[in-house]
Amino acid sequence: MKQYDYLVVGAGLFGAVFARQAADAGKKVLVIDKMQEDKRDISSTFVREEIAKGNIEKANHLLGYHYFVTGEILHGRHLGSTKLGIPTINQIPPEEKLLPESGVYVTEVRLGDRSCRGVTNVGVKPTIEGKNPVGVETHLLDFAGDLYGKVVTVEFLTRIREERKFSSIEALKEEMQKEDFLKCWRNLHWRQGSRSAVSFLPVVAVCIRQCHTKNRCR
């Protein structure tokens, strides 16, 4: 594969000038014209809007990879293991990190050189009393072990439902026991397998830093 020093998305005035100056400096530059999706230019603003609305499959399609959160596993209140019977891992991303709309998502969790299936809640856990920070809490479907202090990556695949406030922790536990998380994974696998392979090719490489933060592009 040919290697480039710079990838310039958009051949407008700034992009053209930058590409010429970089080439004059002996750098290898690849210029890609802007592409469109749904009659809109694909941009970091477009991607961030889809992420913020919880349209994570659409955002992943635009990005060409799974949107993710990386962070250290922190100690929570241990309600997952002691009250709900469903142990979870907790991450508190930095304030500037753009998170998907609050809700429950099918996820894939990267633990070093291995990956696990997960179901992740993004939000403030409204059923739990007290003021809870916006966080990312994940139940691992095929892992058992101590991950406290480890840095893991949670990749968002699809949204299951919105975040809900239940009348009690017992009501939350009952609902979670009804939900078939493995079925959510199987349904996602079936949907992906039924799509055209072209739909999973990256549409365009959008600036990663801009798409992962709340700030608008400058």
Task: Tell me, yes or no, whether 208 lies in a domain.
Answer: no
Residues of the chain below pLDDT 70: 1-2, 10-11, 76-86, 125-132, 166-169, 171-212, 214-218
Residue 177 sits in the same domain as residue 82: yes
Dihedral-angle region of residue 23 (phi above 0 means left; psi in -120 to 50 means alpha; beta otherwise): alpha
Residue 154 sits in the same domain as residue 186: yes
Residue 90 sits in the same domain as residue 72: yes
SS3 107: strand
- In angstroms, the Cα distances linking 177 to 71, 86, 174 are 28, 9, 5
Query: Domain limits at 74?
Result: 68-195
Q: What CATH number does residue 84 fall under?
A: 2.40.30.30
Phi, psi of 196, deg, nearest 5: -65, 140
Task: Tell me, yes or no, whether 209 lies in a domain.
Answer: no
What total number of domains does the chain contain?
2
Residue with tokens 């239940």: 166
Residue 88 sits in the same domain as residue 12: no
Q: What is the pLDDT of residues 182-214, one digit of tens each?
A: 666 666 655 554 443 333 333 444 444 555 676
Residue 52 sits in the same domain as residue 87: no
- At 79 the pLDDT is 52
pTM of this structure: 0.68
Residue 121 sits in the same domain as residue 150: yes
Residue 45 sits in the same domain as residue 128: no
Task: Tell me, yes or no, whether 51 lies in a domain.
Answer: yes
Residue 48 sits in the same domain as residue 112: no
DSSP code of 130?
A: S
Residue 34 sits in the same domain as residue 136: no
